Structure 1
C-alpha cells in the first residue's frame, strides 16, 4: 500500500490507530485549550491593570529565583537544539522527505530561500541591529576584553552572531521539523501536541496533549507581545527624533500599541491578506534599501573587514560563549545573561511555534537535510551581513568620537547612529514604517497560529478567534511595558522569560519524540530490512557454497521465492 511505503495515506490511520487530521474543513474550537488560555491571559491583563506594582514585584521576584535556579536549563537547551538539528541533518535520517516519497518541493529553491530570508527579518533585527554590537563594544561581556578596545570589537560581533545565528534558527528548526514531518509525512494535524504521539501515544490527543498546546499558546502570546513592545519602544523614539512628540512617557507607548493593534484588527476583519502580503514585500525591499544606504554612506571598508572577522571569531569562541554561566562569572555574569543571552533564548523559544509552523508550511517535499541547511544557513547569513553593516557603522562612529551610544538606551542608539548620517529624518521615518509593518504582518501570522492551536489544528481558524488573540497580544504588550516603568525593556524581558520557561521543557521533550519518529520512518525500516536480508543472503551463500557465490535478482515464479541456480544462494 502507498501508506505503508510513505507513511502518509489519505484516510489511513497512524500506526497504533490514531486518526489522521490534516487541519482541513470547518474550524472547531477546542474550548479546553482556548478557554483556559484565554481565561488565564485575561486574568494576567486584569492583574496588570488593577495591581500594576504587585505584578511588577511578583514577576521580578519570580525572575530572580528562576535565573538563579533554572537559567542553566536555557543555556544547555539552546546549544542542545543546535547539536540535535545538525545531527539530524548529517545522519542517515537527513534523506527523509517532509512528505510522500517522490513529492516535489512545493516552491522553487529561489522562492523558498527568499521566504527564509523574509522569516529571518523582523522587529528584532531592526531594534538590536545597531544597539547590540555597540553595547557589547562599550560594555563587553564580563571577563572578556577592556571596553572600547580593538579586541572588544571582535568580541562584540562574535557575541552578536552567537545570539542571532545557529542557536535561534536551530530552535525554530526543531519545531518546524516536528510539524512538517508529522503533518506532511505522517498525516497528523498541525498541533504541537500531535508531534508527541510517537513519545506519549494516545496521551498526545488527550489531557497531556492539551496541556502542551496550552503551553504553546502562552509561549506564542508572550513572544509576540515582546516583539510588539520592542517595536513600540522604537517607534516612540522615532516619533521624538522626527519632532512629532515631546514626551516619552508610558502613555505614548500604550497609545502606539493601541494604534498598531487596531491596524491589525482592521486588516483581519477586512480580509486584506493580499494587501498585507504586498506591504510585507515592500518592507523587505525597504529593509534592503536601508541596509545598502547605511553600507554606502557609512564606513564601507570597515564593514567589509568585519564580515570575515565576525565569522571567524564567532567560530573560534563558540565553545566559550556557549558555556558562559553565573557559576564562573558571579553576579556580573548573571546579570549579563539575564539581559542578553537568556532573554534571547526565551524570546526565540516563545517565537518557535509561529516561525516553526511557517517554515513547515513552505517546506513540503524538502528532505530533512535540505530543511535544516536552509533554515539555519540562509537566515544566519542574513544576520551576519545585517549586523556587520549596522553594528559596524555604530562601532565605527563610536571609535571616531561621535558617541552614538549616548546614555545606553537601546531604542535610542539606532536613531543616534542614523542621526550621524545623511537624511537622518527620512531614515528615521523609514525605520518606524519598517517596524510598524513588521508588527502588523507578524501579528497577523502569529495570531493565525494561535487560532490554529485553539481550533484543533485548523489551517483557517475563525476570524473572531484570530482577532481575539491579536487584541490579547496588544494588551499583554502594554502590561509588559507598564510594569517595566522607566526601564520598559526590563518588563518585556521579565515576562518573556517566565512565559517561555514551560515551553522550553516541551521543546526538549520534542527532540526525543522527533528522534523516535524518524527511527520508525518507512524509509528507515526498509533500509534496515534490506540490510538484514542482504546479510542473511551472504551468510547463507557462504555456508552453502563455501564463500564462492554471487547474488542476483530475477522475477519469482508462481508468486513465491524462486529456487536458486547453481552457484547462487
Structure 2
C-alpha cells in the first residue's frame, strides 16, 4: 500500500511540474463536468448522511461503546474537542470566517444583494455549509472506524469498515482499492486547506510587515511550516498534536471573544439568534436546493454548496480516522451527539461573530468589505477595529498552528492508511507523506490556484461517497449482529443461573 500510493502520488506531482498548464486545463474541464452532472447526487448524499447520523443518536444502538464494555475515554472532553477542531476545520474557519458570509451577503443565492434580507440569507447558507451536514459526514465515518477498530479489533483502515458487507474480500484488491481512494481523497482534501492557509498567512504578513503577496512567498511559507510539522509529527500523537491542539483552542477562544467584544456586540448577538431560527427553519430546503430553472442560483449551489459537500467527504478518511483514534471508550450516542452538535454550534458562533462584523462594517458603516479578496477580507476588517495589529498577529500565529496540526494529523492518517492501519506509523513514513502532501499542494496551486484545489477535491470525493454509503449499511449490519450476540449472551447467563438454581 505504501509503495503503490507513494508511486501514484509522485507521478501526479511530476505531471504538475512538467506540464502544469495542461494539468490546470484538464482539472478545469473535470470541475465543470462534475459540478453540473453530479450536483444533485452530492445534495442527496449529504442529506442522507445527516438523517443517518440523527437516526444513530435515537436508535437502539446508542448505548454500545466504541471499545470493550469496560473501556474508558483516553482523553478528557475539553482535550477531545480541541483535537477534533484542530484536525477538522481550523484553517477554513479563519480563511472563510469573514469572506464567506460577506460574499453571500453581497451576492446571495436568491434576491438582491447588500440588503438587510440578504444578511440573514447569507448567514444561514454559511451555517449550512459548516453546520450539521458537514459534521454528520465526519461523524458517520469516524463512528464506523472507531467501532471496527476498538470494538472488533480490526485495523484502522477505511476498507475495514466494509467487512460486514464484503467479508474477507476487504483483504484483497477490493480493500486495497478502497484504501487508495481514501489516501488520495485525504491528500487532495488536506492540500486545499494547506493552500488556503499559506495564502492567508501571506496576506497577514503583507498587512503586518509589507511582504509581497505572491506564489513564491507562499512556497517559502510552506517550506518553513513543513519543517515545523515534521518536527511535531516526530513527537507523537499524545505530545505534538495534543499540545498544539490545546494551544489552537486557547488562541481561537481568545480571538473569538476579542472580536465579539471589539465588534458590534449587540448586533452580533441579535444576528446569531435570528440566523439560528432561519437555519433551523430552512435547513432541509437548503440542503436539497438545486434551482434547475435559474442558472445564477444553480451556479451558487454548484460553486459553494456542492463544493463543500465534496470537501467534507474528501476529508472523511483524514478527520474520521483522527476522530476515531481519539474517541475510544465513548458510547455511540455520546459520540454522535458531541461530534454533530457541539462543533456545529461553535462554527455558527464563529461565523456570526467574524462574518457579522464584516457585514456590519459594510451595511452600516459603508466600508467595502465584500470587495476584498478571500484571503485578505479578515485583515481588512481588523484594520477597522481597535487593536487591529494585535488581532492580526494573533491570527497569523493561529493559522500557523492550525497549519501544523492539520498537516501533522494528515501525515499520521496517511501513514496509518498505507501501513496496514498501524496506530503509530514510523517517522520515515510520516515524513515521506509530509513531503508529498506539500509537493501536491504546491502543484495544485501552481496549475490552477484555488480552482485547482477545488477540482482535485470534487473529483477525488465522488468515488468516496459510494464507499461511505456501503459503510453505513455495514455499520447497521454489524450493530444488529452485536445486539443479537448481547441478547444471546444474556439468555445463556439466565439459563445457566436457572440450571444452577435447579441443581442446588
Q: For this structure pair, what is the TM-score category when the shorter chain's length is used for normalisation?
A: over 0.9
Residue in 2 aligned with 1:188?
Answer: 154
Asked if 1:462 corresponds to 2:426, the answer is yes
User: Counterpart of 1:232?
Assistant: 198
Residue 48 of structure 1 and its aligned partner are, at CA, apart by: 1.1
**In the TM superposition, what are the counterparts of 1:287-326 in structure 2 within 5 Å?**
287-325=252-290
In structure 2, how many angstroms separate the alpha carbons of the residues matched to 1:197 and 1:239?
49
User: Residue deviations 1:98-149, cap 9 Å, x none?
Assistant: 12224343444455445445555500101111111111101101xx232111
Whole-angstrom distance in 2 between the partners of 1:265 and 1:394: 36
Task: Tell whether 2:35 aligns with 1:67.
Answer: yes
1:434 positional shift: 0.9
- After TM superposition, the structure 1 stretch with the greater mean CA deviation from structure 2, 553-562 or 288-297, is 553-562
Match of 1:505 among 457, 460, 466: 466
1:360 aligns with 2:324: yes
1:252 Cα deviation after fit = 2.1
Match of 1:54 among 8, 22, 45: 22
1:54-453 aligned within 5 A: 54-116=22-84, 118-119=86-87, 122-141=90-109, 144-245=110-211, 247-269=212-234, 274=239, 277-325=242-290, 327-330=292-295, 332-453=296-417
Give ranges in structure 1 of 5+ residues lacking alignment: 1-32, 534-551, 563-569
Contact 2:203 2:375 in 1 (8 A): yes
- Call closer, same or farther: CA 1:275–1:516 in 2, change over 3 Å: closer
Query: Displacement of 1:482 after TM fit?
Result: 1.1
Alignment gaps of 5+ in structure 2: none
With over 3 angstroms needed to count, the CA separation of the structure-2 counterparts of 1:426 and 1:110, relative to structure 1, is closer
Higher RCO (Cα < 8 Å, 6 or more apart): 2
Change (3 A) 1:557 1:439: closer
| SS of equivalent residue, structure 1 residue 317 | helix
* Matched residue SS, 2:209: coil
CA separation in 2, counterparts of 1:165 and 1:75?
Answer: 14
> What is the CA–CA distance in structure 1 between the aligned matches of 2:5 and 2:240, rounded to whole Å?
30
**Alpha carbons of structure 1 residues 42 and 301: separation in structure 2 relative to 1, 3 Å:** same
User: 1:40–1:90: structure 2 CA closer, same or farther, 3 Å change rule?
Assistant: same
Say whether 1:518 aligns with 2:483. Answer: no
Matches within 5 A, 1:540-555: none
Change beyond 3 A, Cα 1:176–1:72: same
User: C-alpha separation between the residues in 2 aligned to 1:333 and 1:528?
Assistant: 55
The DSSP-based 3-state class of the residue aligned with 1:242 is: helix
Per the TM alignment, residue 45 of structure 1 is displaced from its structure 2 partner at its CA by 1.1
Which residue number corresponds to residue 3 of structure 1? none
Give the direction of change, closer, same or farther, for the CA distance of 1:362–1:475 in structure 2 (3 Å limit). same
Q: Classify the secondary structure of the residue corresponding to 2:422.
A: coil
- How far apart are the structure 1 equivalents of 2:272 and 2:114? 19
1:528 deviation in Å?
A: 7.9
Report the CA distance between 1:559 and its aligned residue: 8.3
Higher helix share: 2
Q: Deviations over 1:294-317 (max 9, x none)?
A: 111110001111222111100111
Q: TM-score, normalised by structure 1?
A: 0.83
Flag the structure with larger Rg.
Answer: 1
Matching residue of 2:451: 490
Does structure 1 retain, via aligned residues, the 8 Å contact 2:103–2:370? no
Q: Contact 2:87–2:406 at 8 Å: present in 1 too?
A: no
Count residues in correspondence.
Answer: 503
Per-residue CA deviations over 1:6-38 (Å, capped at 9, x if unaligned) read xxxxxxxxxxxxxxxxxxxxxxxxxxx222221
Distance 1:306 1:451, change over 3 A: same
Post-superposition offset of 1:427: 1.7
Q: 1:110 to 1:426 in 2, by over 3 A?
A: closer
Q: CA RMSD in A?
A: 2.4
> Conserved in 2, the CA contact under 8 Å of 1:117 and 1:382?
no
CA contact (8 A) 2:228 2:404 kept: yes
Q: How many Å separate the matches in 1 of 2:501 and 2:433?
A: 60
| Closer, same or farther: CA 105–265 of 1 in aligned 2, 3 Å | closer
Deviation per CA, 1:162-194: give whole Å up to 9, x if none.
111111111111111111111111111111111
The 1-side partners of 2:86 and 2:215 are apart by 31
